[in-house]
């Protein structure tokens, strides 16, 4: 496949932008080679600067649940843009999106919009600290909650992919307040709360961990988290930036029946525009400025284009039909890929929750970061490039989740599975 135009663009980008990319996960460093430059995307497909078409399983890292350039979102953005791109004062669309979010996620009594998931998580942590007047926070190894200082400790996503789960530039004084526990490890959690429960402001968790590949919560894990935080007066924060409006209309908390105190959202609620949100119990949310002492702000927060895109995106999910289609497609994808690997004798763990998935090159199921680290990343890199050359774009790291959209078709799957079969056969 000719990608010479992308290679030229990357050369130019390297002169101007660190690493040639504006977010490290795009750099292909973990799999080698040169990233392609996208010029267009529609439905389940993305086209590069050399006019190669790929079936896209990254979906702009999660937001594209309807596929790319979903007509209702495109129309909503066009109509909103014609009326002004930013106001810097409240606008009615903020109320409409807030209503939609609240109607879907009952634990969210009040919500504030930000411009990214990072901002949402950073702000939720500050709010939890302000509410409890405690400093310590708990996170799980391999979970990624954006790139705020306190959260870049044993972090997933690009931080893990590039071997810097503890980032340079985070003062040791900040990091010491971040306590890390293995995902799914109930005894470790119980021990930590027993020892330090009265210091812990909050626990932040991806209810389905999607930034070190994909591993689900074991039965009882989220329930115990809810019990322990309530018992010790700590705030439970679900980071649903990825899972919100993805795993069900009510997100992962709807799927698992857990009510956190605060929830962080992003990705789908912006319909592909830069949006984040955090919300939850009104008594906690009302501690935010201007009502309370916890400061949080943003020039483009509640931006009218982003709100319009988010509303159109959520309206397309509201009747539940999309989730039924995604579950059916997801199950088909999972079983078919697993069968192909089994037939060829390749140890591949195909893990899936709804429309999120990951295929780990390892022999045992993955429940936490240590399990994920056992996967064979050189196998993954070969598989990734084989798929790319056959017109299938997977996330360029073993430690990222893949995403299905309602725009993917069974014909796309056929092509994907035939490609997977050919690539896995070369690894056998
Ligand atoms: N949160 C995204 C998936 N891990 C990564 C997006 C990015 O860092 O660019």
Q: Are residues 368 and 184 in contact, defined by beta-carbon separation less than 8 angstroms?
A: yes
Tokens found for residue 153? 């400790």
- Is 319 catalytic? The answer is no
| Span from the CA of 157 to the centroid of ligand 1 (angstroms) | 6
Q: Which of 157, 275, 399 to mutate to test the pocket of ligand 1 (most atoms within 8 A of CB)?
A: 157
User: Which of 228, 198, 323, 349 shows the shortest CA–CA distance to 268?
Assistant: 323
Q: Residue 211: CB within 6 Å of ligand 1?
A: yes
Sheet holding 402-403, edge to edge: 349-353, 356-360, 402-403
Alpha-carbon distance values, 1 to 48, 49, 53, 194 (Å)? 11, 12, 10, 57
pLDDT for 71 equals 98
Buried/exposed code over 261-290 (b: 16+ C-beta within 10 A; e: otherwise): bbbbbbbbbbbbbbbbbbbbbeebbeebee
Q: Are residues 401 and 211 in contact, defined by beta-carbon separation less than 8 angstroms?
A: yes
Q: Residue 400: CB within 6 Å of ligand 1?
A: yes
- Number of C-beta neighbours around residue 167 at 10 A: 14
Q: Residue 157: CB within 6 Å of ligand 1?
A: yes
3-class secondary structure, 49: coil
Q: How far apart are CA 357 and CA 152, in angstroms?
A: 24
% residues pLDDT > 90 (the chain) = 94
Q: For 208-246, what is each residue's pLDDT tens digit?
A: 999 999 999 999 999 999 999 999 999 999 999 999 999
Burial of 110 (0-12, 13-18, 19+ CB in 10 A): middle
Alpha-carbon distance values, 97 to 8, 45, 220, 250, 285 (Å)? 41, 28, 32, 14, 17
The one catalytic residue in 45, 54, 144, 393 is 144
3-class secondary structure, 182: coil
Q: Residue 61: CB within 6 Å of ligand 1?
A: yes
Alpha-carbon distance values, 223 to 99, 184, 244, 258 (Å)? 27, 11, 18, 7
DSSP annotation string for 255-307: HHT---SEEEEEGGGGTTSS-EEEEE-HHHHTTBTTTSSB----TTTT-HHHH
Which atom of ligand 1 lies at the shortest distance from residue 210's CA? 4
User: Which of 242, 234, 208, 201 shows the shortest CA–CA distance to 222?
Assistant: 208
**Domains observed in the chain:** 4-65+320-427 (3.90.1150.10), 72-315 (3.40.640.10)
Q: Residue 116: CB within 6 Å of ligand 1?
A: no
Q: For 60-111, what is each residue's pLDDT tens digit?
A: 999 999 999 999 999 999 999 999 999 999 999 999 999 999 999 999 999 9
pLDDT tens digits for the chain (428 residues)? 999 999 999 999 999 999 999 999 999 999 999 999 999 999 999 999 999 999 999 999 999 999 999 999 999 999 999 999 999 999 999 999 999 999 999 999 999 999 999 999 999 999 999 999 999 999 999 999 999 998 988 988 888 887 777 888 888 888 899 999 999 999 999 999 999 999 999 999 999 999 999 999 999 999 999 999 999 999 999 999 999 999 999 999 999 999 999 999 999 999 999 999 999 999 999 999 999 999 999 999 999 999 999 999 999 999 999 999 999 999 999 999 999 999 999 999 999 999 999 999 999 999 999 999 999 999 999 999 999 999 999 999 999 999 999 999 999 999 999 999 999 999 98
Alpha-carbon distance values, 68 to 43, 44, 268 (Å)? 5, 6, 12
- Is 144 catalytic? The answer is yes
Cis preceding-peptide flag for 290 (omega within 30 of 0): yes
The one catalytic residue in 48, 56, 185, 239 is 239
């Amino acid at each position: 496949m000719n990608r010479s135009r992308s290679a030229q663009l990357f050369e130019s980008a390297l002169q101007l932008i660190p690493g040639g990319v504006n977010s490290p996960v795009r750099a292909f460093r973990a799999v080698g080679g040169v990233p392609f430059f996208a010029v267009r995307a529609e439905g389940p497909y993305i086209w590069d600067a050399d006019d190669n078409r790929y079936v896209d399983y990254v979906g702009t890292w999660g937001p594209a649940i309807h596929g790319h350039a979903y007509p209702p979102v495109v129309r909503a953005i066009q109509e909103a843009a014609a009326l002004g791109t930013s106001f810097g004062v409240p606008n009615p669309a903020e109320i409409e999106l807030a209503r939609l979010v609240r109607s879907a996620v009952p634990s969210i009594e009040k919500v504030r919009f930000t411009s990214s998931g990072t901002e949402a998580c950073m702000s939720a942590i500050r709010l939890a600290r302000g509410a409890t007047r405690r400093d310590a926070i708990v996170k799980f190894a391999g979970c990624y909650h954006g790139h705020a200082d306190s959260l870049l400790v044993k972090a997933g996503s690009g931080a893990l992919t590039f071997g810097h789960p503890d980032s340079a530039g985070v003062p040791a004084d900040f990091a010491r307040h971040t306590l890390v526990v293995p995902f799914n490890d109930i005894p470790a959690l119980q021990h930590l709360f027993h020892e330090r429960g009265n210091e812990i402001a909050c626990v932040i968790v991806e209810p389905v961990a999607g930034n070190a590949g994909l591993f689900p919560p074991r039965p009882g894990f989220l329930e115990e988290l809810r019990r322990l935080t309530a018992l010790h007066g700590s705030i439970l924060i679900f980071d649903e930036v990825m899972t919100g409006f993805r795993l069900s209309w009510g997100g992962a908390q709807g799927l698992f029946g857990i009510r956190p105190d605060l929830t962080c959202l992003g990705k789908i609620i912006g319909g592909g525009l830069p949006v984040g949100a955090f919300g939850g119990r009104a008594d906690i949310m009302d501690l935010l400025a201007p009502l309370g002492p916890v400061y949080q702000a943003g020039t483009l927060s509640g931006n009218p284009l982003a709100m319009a895109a988010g509303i159109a995106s959520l309206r397309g999910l509201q009747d539940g039909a999309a989730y039924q289609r995604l579950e059916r497609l997801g199950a088909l994808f999972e079983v078919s890929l697993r069968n192909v690997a089994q037939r060829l004798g390749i140890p591949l763990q195909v893990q899936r929750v709804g429309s999120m998935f990951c295929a780990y090159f390892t022999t045992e199921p993955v429940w936490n970061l240590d399990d994920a680290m056992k996967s064979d990343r050189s196998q993954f890199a070969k598989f990734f490039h084989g798929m790319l050359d056959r017109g299938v774009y997977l996330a360029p790291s073993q430690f990222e989740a893949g995403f299905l959209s309602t725009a993917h078709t069974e014909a796309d799957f056929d092509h994907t599975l035939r490609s997977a079969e050919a690539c896995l056969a070369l690894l056998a």
